Amino acid sequence: MKTRYSFGGDEHIFVEVDEEMSLEAFFKSLSMTTAIRDAEIDGITEICPANASFQVKFDPDVIAPDDLLGRLKGFEAVAENAEKTIDTRIIEMPVLYNDPWTHETLMRFRERHQDPQSTDLEYAARINGYDSVESFIAAHSGAPWFVSMVGFVAGLPFTYQLVERSRQIEVPKYLRPRTDTPKQTVGYGGCFGCVYSVRGAGGYQMFGITPMPIYDPKGEQSYLKELFLFRPGDLIRFKPIDRETYDATLAEVESGRYQPKIAAAHFSLDAFNADPEGFNAKLLEALDG
């Protein structure tokens, strides 16, 4: 892991903690951004954590760029020795896999896909070595996910599954991005999952849809008073649901009565690495308890 610093024009410093994705890189980035935030450095206007990197926006009229760069580098050693733990929460997200709306959309953009003869789910299952779409969905929903970044568009979580690297799902993005993706599509590109917070363009493979809003510009949901649901460091469990449950959940959402299932959680990277399955089972218990 080699950390690299670069100015992004006169108002940003870009810090790449590692070229490749890993939970170790995410935690080092998280430790650095937390320490930088706690230091309350004059002139920093925004700190944006990403998967294996982060970005600091600053006002060069308040702090000289080279001075800030020097200070940021000073947090690297601390971050390397920091405990790789986080007190967070686990959120259950109901998902109708193989739903009619993403299906209609993926058929509409088939000529932009690597494999026009299959659906996105069939393609992803096959290239990841699963013998059926069902077993692929079981793997996708079987282990929890880490929100390693929030962004692209408002409130969109990038998710990284808590499994050994050999079990990570990997899929390419569409050959050319679609111009349309249904709101609340559960998608996948590279080694990252995502949930599209709004309708719009997108290049990720589409696996299903959640009835649960995660961004609320019109202020319709009581649990979305802060506008966004997700923060980096949140945990997610995707729970497969059938059409009947989807419709019932949607009715609750539309009447403003829906409350997502959220439980407090503690994540320790060392404990996870020592026993991924046992650790995940405990995480999920918090939701089922």
- Which residues would be at the binding site for another protein (CB under 8 A)? 6-12, 14, 16, 18-22, 45-55, 57, 60-61, 65-66, 149-156, 158, 165, 170, 172-173, 189-192, 197-198, 200, 215, 217-218, 227-228, 230-232
94/193 with CB nearer another protein: 193
d(CA 157, CA 219): 19
**Could you tell me the smallest distance in angstroms from the CB atom of residue 198 to another protein?**
6
Angle, CA of 237, 238 and 242, to the nearest 5°: 140
Quickly list H helices, the chain: 23-39, 65-73, 76-81, 100-108, 120-127, 133-142, 243-254, 269-274, 276-288
Nearer to another protein, 231 or 261 (CB): 231
The smaller minimum CB distance to another protein, of residues 83 and 220, is found at 220
Q: How far apart are CA 65 and CA 58, in angstroms?
A: 8
Quote the least distance from Cβ 199 to another protein, whole Å: 9
Please state, in angstroms and rounded to a whole number, the distance separating the CA atoms of residues 161 and 192: 8
Shortest gap between Cβ of 14 and another protein (angstroms)?
6
Token code pair at residue 50: 């990403």
Is the CB of 231 or the CB of 239 nearer to another protein?
Answer: 231
Query: With contact defined as beta carbons under 8 Å apart, do 144 and 237 qualify?
Result: yes
Q: Extract the tokens encoding 11.
A: 């108002």
Closer Cβ to another protein, 54 or 75, answer by number:
54
**C-beta of 282: minimal distance to another protein in Å?**
26
> In the bound complex, what is the minimum distance in angstroms from residue 177's beta carbon to another protein?
9
